[in-house]
Structure 1
Amino acid sequence: MLKYIQTLVCVAVIAAFAVSCQSGNSDVREAARENIDAQTVQPANQAQNPNVQQPATPAVPAGPTTSMTFNETTFDFGTVNEGEMVSHTYKFTNTGSETLVLSDAKGSCGCTVPKWPREPIAPGASADITVEFNSKNKKGKRNQKVTITANTNPPQSFIYLTGEVIPAEGGDAPAITQ
């Protein structure tokens, strides 16, 4: 999220610079400055211009961070046949003193899909992330990673699904060399 904000600010600065170089019109430069002010994230204690539309609240709060602890970070699903679906639920607890907000959870590929809570999690409260792995067209040893982004330090945590997928009959089995 921080990279997104930085990118947005850089684009706005470049746009304002281009506009100010191309026009001697002070109204255009003032409009560009207001646009930059509207897109810049300011500290909470800094006075805000009431005439400038404020940006939407970022998905990951720029304020206090907290911590989360998983009961387990790796689940070994063992051996499955190609095409089977694997699902596992990871329990976690907000072990910090601030509200926990998960802003994203992404699998390492399209075959690994996490479902995570969108509502804030109070300090001391627990919640679940369910991960589904579709083994269709996947063969051999697997180590599927899910990246969770939250208002924690560091902002990303990882959970894993591991196991082995047996190729379907007629599928490409590993070649045996002699």
Structure 2
Amino acid sequence: MKYFKVPALMLGAALMVFACDSKTENASDLAAKNAELEQRLARLEAAQPVATPTNVVSNTPSDPSSLGQFKFEETDFNFGTIDEGKVIEKIFKFTNEGQAPLVISNITASCGCTSPDWSKTPVKPGEEGFVKVVFNSTAKTGAQAPTVTIQANTTPNVTRLSMRGNVTPKLSASPVAAGPVKRD
């Protein structure tokens, strides 16, 4: 039996007809109606072939000789517990274990408190590069987990690095009164 791609509306209508008629007809009548519906669908498919959309991207395997390959020493850094306002800087070093120069095309941070910097020139096979992540904990308290997303000519083409830790709030110099002050 061949399977066809059928628009949902047509299939729904066919099923409704089939369901409504099934109460009053026997099995041989239902089989005949089912065969007739399949023939109609086949004629519709033949009359209107399915066109491939123009924005479809073919999914062909990449040539390994055209790709770089990250080998990070670590991809997750735990900075522990710090005081609010402290700036943490971590350099994630990597080696290109691919067969082609590794090119980082873009790096984005998960929030405005994190800023990345990286090797801007292609990293040749066997050579080292870096991604520097700076986390500013000003106005950030509690558990924090900033990340950076790297886009490069690797497989997969997206790699994530993360930092995590806890930020303790600053103690304010002047205590804030909670409510009206009672005077004697």
TM score, norm. by length of structure 2: 0.57
Counterpart of 2:170 in structure 1 is 168
Unmatched 5+ stretches in structure 1: 1-62, 172-178
Contact 2:66 2:99 in 1 (8 A): no
* Structure 1 position 135 matched with structure 2 position 161: no
Contact 2:77 2:162 in 1 (8 A): yes
Q: CA RMSD in A?
A: 1.5
Equivalence map 1:33-112=2 (5 Å): 64-112=66-114
Between the aligned partners of 2:156 and 2:129, the Cα distance in structure 1 is: 19
Counterpart of 1:148 in structure 2 is 150
Between the aligned partners of 1:132 and 1:86, the Cα distance in structure 2 is: 6
Between the aligned partners of 1:100 and 1:77, the Cα distance in structure 2 is: 28
The structure with more radius of gyration:
2
Runs of 4+ in 1 over 4 A off after TM superposition: none
TM score, norm. by length of structure 1: 0.59
> Per the alignment, in what secondary structure is the counterpart of residue 120 of structure 1?
coil
Between the aligned residues of both structures, percent identity stands at 39
Between the aligned partners of 1:131 and 1:68, the Cα distance in structure 2 is: 17
Q: CA deviation at 1:64?
A: 2.1
